[in-house]
Amino acid sequence: MTTPVPPQLSGFTIGAFLGKGGMSTVWAARQHSLDREVALKVLDPSLSSDPEDVKRFVVEARMAAQLSHPNLVRVFDVANQGGQHFYIMEYARGYDAEKWLRRKGRIDPSETLAVAESIAVALEYAWAQVGLIHCDIKPANIMVDADGTVKLTDLGVARCLRGRHRAGDADATEITGTPAYMAPEQVTGATPLDCRTDMYSLGATLYHMVTGRRLFPGMPDEEVMEMQCTGQAPDAREFAPELSEAYAALLEKLLAKNPGYRPRTWYAALQDMRQVGRNQFPSGEAPPPGGSTMYRRKPEARLIDDSPPAPAAAPRRARRKRRRLSIRDLATLPRWAILLLAIAAFLAGFAIVLAILHFAR
């Protein structure tokens, strides 16, 4: 990817290029007035002439600025300089989960659960505060800060159900998001979106992190979106055999095609994640067969032999062997017994001698 031309903004020294989204570019910068490092999200110049795109960009910034949570990247201000629209954000030092995946190939299940809990806590807060749905949860939008704090970034396609972006708005009918992580209702618009839409995206993100594979890799975006609605991906344990049955059940539940089979609230989703961390199954009913985007391989049934056991053979009677008295046995006798035996032997010998003398006469 070619690095775009850095913006020229008064009051800022522009640093490294951090990334590009559908509407904007993100740059590291130093804000002169407060002498601090920040990130600047700059609206693409090709969109700055469209009042609707500018309005959407500003609404996004204002919505994000209402939120203050350690697991969300903060937005400080929104501004316009000479037709360049941008907003000023917290600069999170570290790396995103996509780079983490590229480095490791697959991420340990316990670490992915810790990441998922941090994201769920942040989204529970955002949903409670302003009814926010992120709509684009994916590894590239999950930052791990220098101190290990997990932060969710990029509210570029987020919708606020209690603000100006409601289900009836024209832009709410647009298909926005990243195909490999989009919920079926996000693709079709058949069901009103709510916090469970983000749960599906988080499930797709977890699948990617633990297996090293996106859902439906190698397909065009249109086919991927179709598969999100009608297809099934293999059990994650085919690529990560160390995953527990409980973890596979969590993925199956988060990736349920019908939102009714996903957790009802972020609190319930967090409880499920914590149970899996203790190797316990998620609560509630699992999706019906074919009702989840991930096919979960059930344990094979074991045949039980219920025939009666064969009767045991009668024990054989052991024969007693006669044992002769040995000198070693005499050595173990007490002294008085030895003395008696000696006297008996003497008397027996004396009697034999008398008998011989008697017959000799």
Q: What angle do CA 191, 225, 271 make, to 5 degrees?
A: 60
For the record, the structure tokens of 225 come out as 């979106």
d(CA 23, CA 341): 116
Beta pairing, strands 94-96 & 132-133: unpaired
Of residues 136, 198, 235, 272, which has the active-site annotation? 136
Please report where in the chains the tokens 């469970």 appear, as a residue: 196
d(CA 112, CA 36): 32
Cα 14 to Cα 6, 61, 266: the distances in Å are: 7, 20, 38
Active site residue 108: no
d(CA 103, CA 95): 11
d(CA 243, CA 5): 44
Which residues lie across from 346 on neighbouring strands? none
Q: Which residue type does 175 have?
A: I
d(CA 271, CA 266): 9
CB 270 within 8 A of CB 120: yes
SS (H, E, C) 183-209: CHHHHHCCCCCCHHHHHHHHHHHHHHH
SS (H, E, C) 301-339: CCCCCCCCCCCCCCCCCCCCCCCCCCHHHHHCCCHHHHH
Please report where in the chains the tokens 């609707």 appear, as a residue: 52
d(CA 238, CA 240): 6
Contacts of 350 (CB under 8 A, 6+ apart): none
Q: Cβ-count burial of 172 within 10 angstroms (0-12 exposed, 13-18 middle, 19+ buried)?
A: middle
Which residues does the annotation mark as catalytic?
136
